Structure 1
Amino acid sequence: MPRFSESIATGLIVALLASCAGPGKPGSPAADAALPEASPTETASEVVVTGTRPVAMEQRSVNAVTSITSEDIGRFASPPPPPAPLVVTSRARIASPDRMGGNLYYQDVGRDKFTATPQNVFKVVREEPVSTFSLDVDTASYSFVRGSLNRNLLPQPAAVRTEELVNYFPYDYAAARSAQQPFSTNVAVMPSPWSPGRQLVRIGVKGYAIEHATRPRANLVFLIDTSGSMNAPNKLPLVKQSLAMLLDQLDANDSVSIVTYAGSAGTALEPTPAREKARIRAVIDRLGAGGSTAGAEGIRQAYALAGQNLDPRGVNRVILATDGDFNVGITDREELKGYVERERGKGVFLSVLGFGMGNYNDALMQTLAQNGNGAAAYIDTINEARKTLVDEASSTLFPIAKDVKIQVEFNPRTVAEYRLIGYETRMLNRDDFDNDKVDAGDVGSGQTVTAIYEVTPVGGPRTIGDLRYAPPTATGGPVGELGFVKIRYKLPKSDTSRLLTTPIDRRVQYGRFEDAPRDARFAVAVAGFAELLRGGRYNGALSYDDVLRIGGAARGEDDFGYRAEFLQLVRAAKTAQSMAALGQ
């Protein structure tokens, strides 16, 4: 076969490759124009592993060659078959191609960080009649559980916080009366579906819904992680889409600033009226990922920017969007916690939007949100972004009460034992309830919050036997009361708490589980599912099929499909694997 000149061969190869590569994909002129020249030894799958952080080399075009022969022409005489998915593994990470753009990115595996907290245990009422905890409106755990099950993997037990699964769903509780008394309390008592002889006490709280016309002005700082760990389709690209959605919910007089951080931090957008949406979107769209993660410096600069534009009568909030992989500067959780606590006292709150899976630092995100007077949400899909930042934008941004605490005193005359289901990371000491210096949870406009206790009535099946030298049985309170609920809260601009009280009496008791309010039964189904994912220590013979039966019967109205999705997740858990395989 006669030899072709090098220039003719190069032209033929480029033409052949362009004919079998779509626009913008590797191999097309549009894609290759943005790529640097490659040396003959560089390939699309080349990865350099240093220490514990693999770094992907820049992707090279397959037509970036320096010498051509007739054998090369033969190899490209017909369109090549579609390339197999690229998988490069280490002990911690899997490299795979971005199906949308063809770029190499890393999907971390098995490096998510959660705080393992022991489950609440049963307590004897005669010894410890009082239970105190902070309200929690976070929902991050539910989204993370969903993301795991959608990958056919069971979440690690530490990732499952029962109250966050329960509180993911809105419930039809009675509306609060006014902004000055911003809560209604709804109590229901029903037989336990998994422990015969025991009862469940559901305590529901609904926050006052602020009218849009009267809501305060928002001074928001978007703090965006643009480090290399955010270079994945479910991270920075999803952050951009999410913040663009949130921008559409803001009023013209609201203010938006943008701070980014990677190896260092900087201001990408000075405080700008939200009516200048095109300008703000342009800054968001230009963001790219690369470098290490100086998260603490980003937080410092974001708070400084919020402080410069502080509105004493408005809502001043930093919204952090990150996977939590801080690895430059201050990385100690306690040090960061102290910093956000001090800034909280100046009137600037912190909310956290978590992204990504495999290297998600939930432990740090929870610490920042809980101590920054903000909520933590986990965004795993564009639908979750819409739920959190569009459908629930008012509750995400605008608090109606802060430092909200609940204290339940059980009556030893009617209750022998109790156990709070969930809220392990929100437990408080008894004397914290009346101490206005103790920080607690915050509730946003129109939010519902639910807590569930499992109780053993006097004469029921005890889990803890009496002590030999136990004191005599106390006379207790009224025989018709199981307990007494107290809620303490502060209005958003106040430092003095107020008190609401509600008895748990016979008026809210149901003889059959099936007769209990539908929302109460659905919340029980969700709590049961969460407890199964955590190991099922206190669930008796409850199974996933039982959860499906209870949840299906109590599904009720489901305008957004959240409850239908929950039932699908229960079905997925029945067949999900216990651990991800690192190699593919």
Structure 2
Amino acid sequence: MRARLAITLLPCLILAGCSQAPSDYAAYEAANGAVTPTGDRYDGQPVSPVHQVASEPISTFAVDVDTGAYAHVRHMLLAGQAVPADAVRTEEMVNYFRYDYPLPDDRTAPFSVTTDVATTPWNPGTRLLRIGLRGYDVTRSQRPPANLVFMVDVSGSMQDQDKLPLVKQALSTLADGLRPDDSVSIITYAGGVETLVEGSHDPAEIRAALDGLDADGATAGGPALAMAYDLARAHRIPGGINRIFMATDGDFNVGLSDQKGLEDMVKQNREDGITLTTLGFGQGNYNDAMMEAVADLGNGNHAYIDSAMEARKVLDEELSSTLFTIAKDVKVQVEFNPAAVSQYRLIGYENRALAEADFADDKVDAGEIGAGHQVTALYEIVPVGEAGWTGERRYAANRPSVAEGDAQEMATVRLRYTLPEGQSSRLIERPVPTALIAAAGRPQGDMAFAIAVAAFGQKLRGDTKLGDFTFGDIARLAGPQADYWRQEFVQIARLADHGDARE
């Protein structure tokens, strides 16, 4: 009943409740993301299209270090559930895992850039270009002190075992990893907002407050978010990390309120140096669309917590990456050479696409990279001379002229980023030699695993360009793995191969 009630609320003022039913569900879903029969909400995008290099040589997108989509998809598959295509963001699947990218040579350039090419397992006429970024590492002792506000949803919708009980365990894990110079505040919200801990440095006090939480009542998310920002500002650490952790299933009236008001609130506080991480829990009324959008606007990241192990991974092992930003507004732009490549498509990143002019515009918000973060992007490309996805056009005037010129470079990769305290962006440029196309072999090792994960995401999305490539093929491509998380992926791919994993 709670989930059904949530999807019948009208958009309303961000700090106010609302209780009327909308007259136009199509308009509601367009504004708030598609609603599944279970009440879960996703902002699904169509699979990225094919582009002709002759007419569209440039591809631009913002980086994405979120991992929520992979953990959420894994949770559904392990529970024996079909996966809605709208729940899958392939870039988050790929970026869940770490790859063998080199560390940057020094911190004047905060991340390294790697490019390589392999043949495509599902299409002998195309190649896969991989672009990899890796940020420099920071240990827990090296990061600045942190002022953290835990914003915990304790409404009735959070009473399930995989919701509030797991929230308490997850945030206790985070508390165990804090330092004496860190500051923690905890607020809860249901019918009202309550401050349980303010500016504490005592892990025992934090754990005791979390242990006493119970789920009950309606949801007052708007006032809670405003209070969280007030607390973060009151205990601000100049030169430190100031961040809110929102732990919820997303079923609260911020997610169902006026979108412009929500954006304005988050953007204003983002510009004031207060960032926002969203931690998603549970199913049945899970608002993935809101949680990912809010984290993106808040210069933070979105993770989905489905187990104690995932909580430790996100909030302990990767805590420095989550907290300490080393580059902001990171954008990638690839310019393909029509003398070497005729067609291309970017795998994933549909909701991170930018216009070409946005690349050099420092006012356009983009993704952040934290210490130790990695970002991987894969392009499927058609080398000149190979048959592409689209056939020959009938009329000569509609056909691209045969490209002439220097074919030594197949593409140029450009990156723009701004240092955390900077105002103007910096540019990195890397040519990609055409010789990589001729030298491309079957994907192996690290590259093979990245391609397998990308194929897994696209398969779940119903990508028709994978042809007859199966989940079993994906598991075989991933190969034997020593790492626990990679082993788990191979098992999930095999699990998907024994049933219809797509909804």
TM-score of the two chains, using structure 1 as the length reference: 0.78
State the Cα distance separating 1:508 from its structure 2 match. Answer: 4.4
1:316 is aligned to 2:242: yes
CA 445–508 in structure 1, closer or farther in 2 if over 3 Å, else same: farther
Q: Is contact 2:156-2:218 (8 Å) kept? A: yes
1:128 is aligned to 2:61: no
Partner Cα separation in structure 2 for residue 439 and residue 458 of structure 1: 35
Structure 1 residues not aligned, in runs of 5+: 1-48, 55-107
Which residue is equivalent to 1:421? 347
State the Cα distance separating 1:574 from its structure 2 match. Answer: 2.2
Which residue is equivalent to 1:520? 447
Which residue is equivalent to 2:74? 146
State the Cα distance separating 1:480 from its structure 2 match. Answer: 2.0
Partner Cα separation in structure 1 for residue 415 and residue 254 of structure 2: 41
State the Cα distance separating 1:424 from its structure 2 match. Answer: 0.4
Which residue is equivalent to 1:569? 492
Which residue is equivalent to 2:189? 261
Alignment equivalent of 1:440, drawn from 366, 372, 387:
366
Provide Cα deviations, 1:71-95, integer angstroms capped at 9, x if missing partner: xxxxxxxxxxxxxxxxxxxxxxxxx
Alignment equivalent of 1:542, drawn from 445, 469, 472:
469
State the Cα distance separating 1:575 from its structure 2 match. Answer: 3.0
What one-letter code is carried by the residue in structure 2 that aligns with 1:565? Answer: E
State the Cα distance separating 1:579 from its structure 2 match. Answer: 8.3
State the Cα distance separating 1:329 from its structure 2 match. Answer: 9.5
Which residue is equivalent to 2:132? 204
Q: After superposition, where does 1:301-450 map in structure 2 within 5 Å?
A: 301-327=227-253, 331-450=257-376
CA 570–298 in structure 1, closer or farther in 2 if over 3 Å, else same: same
Q: Is contact 1:182-1:401 (8 Å) kept? A: yes
CA 278–50 in structure 1, closer or farther in 2 if over 3 Å, else same: closer
Give the SS at the match of 2:354: coil
Runs of 4+ in 1 over 2 A off after TM superposition: 49-54, 177-180, 211-214, 327-335, 464-468, 470-478, 506-514, 574-580
Which residue is equivalent to 2:25? none
Partner Cα separation in structure 1 for residue 305 and residue 438 of structure 2: 38
CA 321–492 in structure 1, closer or farther in 2 if over 3 Å, else same: same
Partner Cα separation in structure 1 for residue 500 and residue 129 of structure 2: 33
CA 250–134 in structure 1, closer or farther in 2 if over 3 Å, else same: same
Give the SS at the match of 1:573: helix
Give the SS at the match of 1:266: strand
Give the SS at the match of 2:296: helix
State the Cα distance separating 1:165 from its structure 2 match. Answer: 0.5
Partner Cα separation in structure 2 for residue 534 and residue 330 of structure 1: 26
Stretch of structure 1 that moved more, 287-296 or 504-513 = 504-513
Structure 2 residues not aligned, in runs of 5+: 7-35
Q: Is contact 2:188-2:224 (8 Å) kept? A: yes
Partner Cα separation in structure 2 for residue 109 and residue 473 of structure 1: 49
Alignment equivalent of 1:180, drawn from 83, 90, 108:
108
Partner Cα separation in structure 2 for residue 513 and residue 334 of structure 1: 49
Give the SS at the match of 1:232: coil
Aligned length: 472
1:460 is aligned to 2:389: no
Q: After superposition, where does 1:181-260 map in structure 2 within 5 Å?
A: 181-260=109-188
Give the SS at the match of 1:344: helix
State the Cα distance separating 1:52 from its structure 2 match. Answer: 4.0
Q: Is contact 2:254-2:262 (8 Å) kept? A: no
State the Cα distance separating 1:510 from its structure 2 match. Answer: 6.5
Q: Is contact 2:334-2:413 (8 Å) kept? A: yes
State the Cα distance separating 1:521 from its structure 2 match. Answer: 1.1
Q: After superposition, where does 1:549-568 map in structure 2 within 5 Å?
A: 549-552=476-479, 555-558=480-483, 561-568=484-491
What root-mean-square deviation, in Å, do the aligned CA atoms of Structure 1 and Structure 2 show?
A: 2.1
What one-letter code is carried by the residue in structure 2 that aligns with 1:363? Answer: A
State the Cα distance separating 1:544 from its structure 2 match. Answer: 1.1
**Structure ID, larger Rg:** 1
Provide Cα deviations, 1:310-357, integer angstroms capped at 9, x if missing partner: 122011100100000014796233421221011100000000000001
Which residue is equivalent to 1:480? 408
Which residue is equivalent to 2:15? none
Q: Is contact 1:126-1:474 (8 Å) kept? A: no
1:292 is aligned to 2:218: yes
Q: Give the percent of matched residue pairs that are identical in Structure 1 and Structure 2.
A: 46
Give the SS at the match of 2:134: strand
Which residue is equivalent to 1:119? 47
Partner Cα separation in structure 2 for residue 477 and residue 505 of structure 1: 14
Partner Cα separation in structure 2 for residue 169 and residue 460 of structure 1: 32
What one-letter code is carried by the residue in structure 2 that aligns with 1:132? Answer: T
State the Cα distance separating 1:178 from its structure 2 match. Answer: 2.6
CA 51–365 in structure 1, closer or farther in 2 if over 3 Å, else same: closer
Partner Cα separation in structure 1 for residue 305 and residue 392 of structure 2: 47
State the Cα distance separating 1:571 from its structure 2 match. Answer: 1.4
Partner Cα separation in structure 1 for residue 255 and residue 455 of structure 2: 41
Partner Cα separation in structure 1 for residue 399 and residue 463 of structure 2: 33
State the Cα distance separating 1:397 from its structure 2 match. Answer: 1.4
Which residue is equivalent to 1:283? 209
1:157 is aligned to 2:80: no
Provide Cα deviations, 1:393-417, integer angstroms capped at 9, x if missing partner: 1111111111110000000011000
